Structure 1
Amino acid sequence: MEPTFLAASPFLPLIGLSVLILVVHVTLQALIATKELGREWNAGARDDDRKPTGKLAGRAERASANFRETYPAFIALAFGVIMAGDPSGIALTGAWIWLVCRIIYIPLYLMGIPYVRSLVWVGSMIGLLLMFFVLMF
């Protein structure tokens, strides 16, 4: 028998979408690195320590690293809110804010757009804080 709080949670699709964002980051890194260094490098064992050095490859790597820094917090908070419940909906709003900001962040970072990218990152942190708020108060 499946617990009803898990089956009915609106957070589960958001968690699924967050995994999709992770896959997009990994795929972008791989495609850009392969374009720069070639299929043989990508298919090989990479024992020669060659790394992509282009601007776009660096941006893709940094954007992915930035996502992976906040991703565990999102997952932990999402499951925490599922367990605790969220009658006010504040945490769900926070989760959507985090998700939308993380999607917007990718092209902003790849295009090298300053300031707006930072504001979008701050937006994603606000989303996490809303989720945190529900668990703490």
Structure 2
Amino acid sequence: MLLLIIFAVLFLLLVQVALPGRYLAIQVGNDAQMGPRDDLPEPSRELARARRALGNLQETLPVFLTLAILSIVLGEQGWLSLAGGALYLVARVAHLYCYMQGLTPWRSVSFLISLLGNLLLAVPLLPHLWS
């Protein structure tokens, strides 16, 4: 089940990687977007938000993937690990939505909830530090 959550998070990453390109194409057209992009205008609000949301995901994703993969390798796929992985996924989807809609403070709340998901993933791994 944790592997399924990992794949869902990676799918979310692909969606977030595609969003800035989509918003750039809307802003400047396909020809300019596929060109060298040397003289682009200031990004639109949506493009800037999509870029920042992607950057934010990229900050937390390595921690999530490390903890989730360690949970699988070390056989720690109990309810706490699954809850942590699911919480991370749901919170990151909410974070993207809140970021794109400009919903404060919900964007920050969803970010903190995703960190809580990572913490829940880490807890079952702690005994392995001493074994």
What TM-score does the superposition give when structure 1 sets the normalisation length? 0.86
Per-residue deviation, 1:78: 0.6
Unaligned runs of 5+ in 1: 1-9
Quote how far apart the aligned CAs of 1:51 are: 5.5
Q: How far apart are 1:55 and its partner, in Å? A: 1.1
1:79 aligned partner: 69
- 8 Å contact kept, 2:71–2:77: no
Distance 2:77 2:52 in 1: 36
Alignment check: 8 A CA contact 2:95 2:107 kept: yes
Gap runs ≥5 in structure 2: none
Q: 1:13 to 1:38 in 2, by over 3 A?
A: same
Q: Does 2:22 match 1:31?
A: yes
1:59-87 residue CA offsets vs partner (Å, 9 max, x unmatched)? 11000100111111111111000011226
Shift in alpha-carbon separation, 1:61–1:82, aligned structure 2, 3 A: same
Q: The residue matched to 1:53 in structure 2 has which SS?
A: coil
Structure 1's 99 and 87: CA in aligned 2 closer, same or farther, altered over 3 A?
Answer: closer
Q: What does residue 90 of structure 2 align with?
A: 100
- Residue 56 in structure 1 maps to residue 46 in structure 2: yes
- CA deviation digits over 1:100-122, x for unaligned, max 9? 00111111100101111111111
Which has more helix, going by share of residues?
A: 2
Regions of 4+ moved over 2 Å: 49-52
Kindly report the root-mean-square deviation, in angstroms, between the aligned alpha carbons of the 2 structures: 1.4
Report 1:1-137 matches (<5 A). Answer: 10-46=1-37, 48-50=38-40, 52-86=42-76, 88-137=78-127
Partner deviation per Cα, 1:19-66 (whole Å, 9 max, x = no partner): 1101110111111111112111221132x1526521111111000100
Identity %: 30
Amino acid at match of 2:8: L
Give the TM-score normalised by structure 2.
Answer: 0.90
